[in-house]
Amino acid sequence: MKVDAVLVKHIAKLGNIDLSDTEIKLYGKQIQQILQYIETLSQVDTQNVKPTYQTLDNTTNVWREDKLQPERGLTQAEALSQAKKTYQGYFVADHVFSDAIRKTSTKLAKRRQIDKFNAVLTEVNSKGNLGVKDLFCTKNIETTAGSAVLSGYKPQYSATVIQKLEKAGYLVKNKLNQDAWGHGSSGENSDFGATKNPWDMSRVPGGSSSGSAVVVATGEVEIATGTDTCGSIRMPANFTNICGLKPTYGALSRYGVIAFASSLDCPGLFARSVVKLKTVFNQVAGADLQDPTSQSPARNKSGVKKIKTIGLPKEFFAAGLDPEIKKLMASAADKLKGQGFSVKTVSLPHSQFGVAAYYLIAPTETCSNLSRYDGVRYGQHRSYFGPEAKRRIMLGSFAASAGYAAKYYENAAKVRTLIVNDFEAVFKQVDVIMAPVAPMPPFKIGAKTDNPLEMYLSDIFAAPASLAGLPSLALPCGFTKNNLPVGMQLIGPRWSESALFNLGEIYQKITNWHLQKPKL
């Protein structure tokens, strides 16, 4: 696949973004490199494989009765409240029959940095006890998704998860930094500057829920919300020595959580112990009538009763894994063996294609989800998107465009089916899978920013569970020689959270990794 300037301009136009000549050159080169990697999917035999577009236990027919819901309605003042320009009750857009005006973003006033890790974007209430990723809408409280596009946006409503937490007695303390829109594994893609790792200020804390992990790691709050589309909870938990749960897809409502890739987005939680995580998870999980993808009837049929056998997928322990992490994983497995669990090697043969499939599916969905940002009803114009958002918009408009959709987007959805099938087969042999979260310990800020593909490959161990909609619990399992935290993930069948918590609790009873705190 040759990515020339003509193609770059075409897909940028489809995605409705303006590029400078420098950008056309740079993104063209990067997209070419990413597509080359994605070509590895052509090795997979997807003939006669049905594509997977949702992981919902075959849920169908989620609909509502035809009843008015005035309690959800907005007044005219509320509807217009976030618009730059209104006129006599109307929103004002550029005249559609005039020639398109080329927009250039004027620089926003630099945001004041609140804490030394740049973890907090907005201080809400100093008496609060809850940290909230800035992807969760909080009524009348600025919610930016980490993007300049939404800088200053004050949502007219709150996400279901936030409402539930408030009902359970939590109070929002601060809104937290993140890779813009959830696009990133390191926390460096925030339009408001990178978040820093409290264990080593020169290193990344992991992303995209970077600020959430940091405020829990430093003890600023006990609980923080995050979202995990492909590792965005597990990665930062793993890089900051805390626990993070990416729940089963659909376990927590997505309503009011700014969408990144809808078929993959999982709102979830961070805490320092599995016990705490479990308590809060049970307070916020549940079907939401406002989110049709939260209504799988399988929710109440428990996946695994009790874990006896733990599987180590051999593909996750292959050459690419850092030797120190490999050693720490082996010793964690030994610890659990000592508790009477049997441990065996299993195989997830298609997991190596996870990142390639993911970087077609997620950009396609994010390109679609980011289409609503036009600066008319809220936020700034599309020229305010940062470089990573622009790259993903273009990748997505390409993968779903006429002539390419079957080869790229649909084929990725078929590979997704094979990944789902791999897990199903393995869960016939073992009750849970234990695997590293990332192939390397926390890396230096700036180390991967010039090479998007290398950054994407850090998601290699996160992608399979995300694509299959499975729950995965990340928890600390040791430190490198340089005192950098290392975590592992426990992946179970759909709706097996309680079994994962039980195993995690047992592990944390016999280890004290999770009790270690960074020196502040």
Catalytic residues: 133, 208, 232
C-alpha–C-alpha distance, residues 481 and 358, integer Å? 33
β partners of residue 273: none
142 backbone φψ class: left, alpha, beta (φ>0; ψ -120 to 50): beta
Bond prior to 208 in cis (omega within 30° of 0)? yes
Binding to other proteins (CB under 8 A) within 221-260 occurs at 254-259
Q: Which residues contact 276 (CB under 8 A, 6 or more apart)?
A: 222, 223, 243
Query: What count of other Cβ atoms lies within 10 Å of the Cβ of residue 41?
Result: 18
Maximum Cα interatomic distance, the chain, rounded to a whole number of Å: 73
DSSP 401: S
Based on the shown chain and the rule CB under 8 A, indicate whether residue 99 belongs to the binding site for other proteins: no
Based on the shown chain and the rule CB under 8 A, indicate whether residue 380 belongs to the binding site for other proteins: no
In this chain, which of 20, 73, 112, 319 binds other proteins, going by CB under 8 A?
A: 73
Stretch that binds other proteins, among 65-73, 103-111, 438-446, 478-486 (CB under 8 A): 65-73
Based on the shown chain and the rule CB under 8 A, indicate whether residue 132 belongs to the binding site for other proteins: no
Based on the shown chain and the rule CB under 8 A, indicate whether residue 191 belongs to the binding site for other proteins: no
Least Å distance, CB 354 to other proteins, is 18
Based on the shown chain and the rule CB under 8 A, indicate whether residue 359 belongs to the binding site for other proteins: no
In this chain, which of 188, 228, 291, 315 binds other proteins, going by CB under 8 A?
A: 291
Q: Residues binding other proteins: what is the number (CB under 8 A)?
A: 78
Least Å distance, CB 377 to other proteins, is 6
| Residue 39, burial from CB neighbour count under 10 angstroms (0-12, 13-18, 19+) | exposed
Bond prior to 472 in cis (omega within 30° of 0)? no
Query: What count of other Cβ atoms lies within 10 Å of the Cβ of residue 346?
Result: 20
Based on the shown chain and the rule CB under 8 A, indicate whether residue 150 belongs to the binding site for other proteins: yes
C-alpha–C-alpha distance, residues 44 and 350, integer Å? 8
| Residue 250, burial from CB neighbour count under 10 angstroms (0-12, 13-18, 19+) | buried
Stretch that binds other proteins, among 67-75, 210-218, 228-236, 448-456 (CB under 8 A): 67-75
In this chain, which of 97, 107, 169, 428 binds other proteins, going by CB under 8 A?
A: 97
Stretch that binds other proteins, among 76-84, 108-116, 338-346, 463-471 (CB under 8 A): 76-84
Binding to other proteins (CB under 8 A) within 12-51 occurs at 14, 16
Nearest to 395 by CA among 46, 7, 6: 7
Based on the shown chain and the rule CB under 8 A, indicate whether residue 101 belongs to the binding site for other proteins: no
Residue with tokens 């600066």: 375
C-alpha–C-alpha distance, residues 513 and 508, integer Å? 8
Q: Which residues contact 288 (CB under 8 A, 6 or more apart)?
A: 160, 253, 255, 294, 295
State which residue, 355 or 413, has the beta carbon closest to other proteins: 413
In this chain, which of 24, 26, 80, 333 binds other proteins, going by CB under 8 A?
A: 80
State which residue, 121 or 328, has the beta carbon closest to other proteins: 121
C-alpha–C-alpha distance, residues 184 and 162, integer Å? 23
State which residue, 93 or 515, has the beta carbon closest to other proteins: 93
Based on the shown chain and the rule CB under 8 A, indicate whether residue 340 belongs to the binding site for other proteins: no
Based on the shown chain and the rule CB under 8 A, indicate whether residue 282 belongs to the binding site for other proteins: no
Least Å distance, CB 513 to other proteins, is 35
Based on the shown chain and the rule CB under 8 A, indicate whether residue 262 belongs to the binding site for other proteins: yes
What amino acid occupies position 398? F
Nearest to 322 by CA among 442, 185, 462: 442
Based on the shown chain and the rule CB under 8 A, indicate whether residue 405 belongs to the binding site for other proteins: yes
C-beta separation of 227 from 265 below 8 A? yes
State which residue, 181 or 239, has the beta carbon closest to other proteins: 181
State which residue, 60 or 106, has the beta carbon closest to other proteins: 60
DSSP 150: G
Going by DSSP bridges, is the β-strand pair 309-313/432-436 parallel, antiparallel, or unpaired?
A: parallel
Binding to other proteins (CB under 8 A) within 419-478 occurs at none
C-alpha–C-alpha distance, residues 11 and 8, integer Å? 5
State which residue, 50 or 112, has the beta carbon closest to other proteins: 50
Least Å distance, CB 175 to other proteins, is 14
State both tokens at 316: 């996750």
In this chain, which of 53, 111, 113, 498 binds other proteins, going by CB under 8 A?
A: 53
State which residue, 178 or 401, has the beta carbon closest to other proteins: 401
412 SS3 class: helix
In this chain, which of 21, 45, 70, 512 binds other proteins, going by CB under 8 A?
A: 70
Least Å distance, CB 337 to other proteins, is 40
Stretch that binds other proteins, among 286-294, 318-326, 439-447, 487-495 (CB under 8 A): 286-294
Residue with tokens 């409503």: 157
Based on the shown chain and the rule CB under 8 A, indicate whether residue 145 belongs to the binding site for other proteins: yes
State which residue, 115 or 228, has the beta carbon closest to other proteins: 228
Stretch that binds other proteins, among 148-156, 446-454, 474-482, 489-497 (CB under 8 A): 148-156
What amino acid occupies position 57? D
State which residue, 262 or 283, has the beta carbon closest to other proteins: 262
In this chain, which of 23, 37, 157, 347 binds other proteins, going by CB under 8 A?
A: 157
Based on the shown chain and the rule CB under 8 A, indicate whether residue 67 belongs to the binding site for other proteins: yes
State which residue, 370 or 503, has the beta carbon closest to other proteins: 370
Q: Which residues contact 114 (CB under 8 A, 6 or more apart)?
A: 120, 121, 123, 174
In this chain, which of 3, 7, 35, 56 binds other proteins, going by CB under 8 A?
A: 56
* Angle of helix 497-510 versus helix 323-338 axis, rounded to 10: 90
Going by DSSP bridges, is the β-strand pair 223-228/485-491 parallel, antiparallel, or unpaired?
A: unpaired
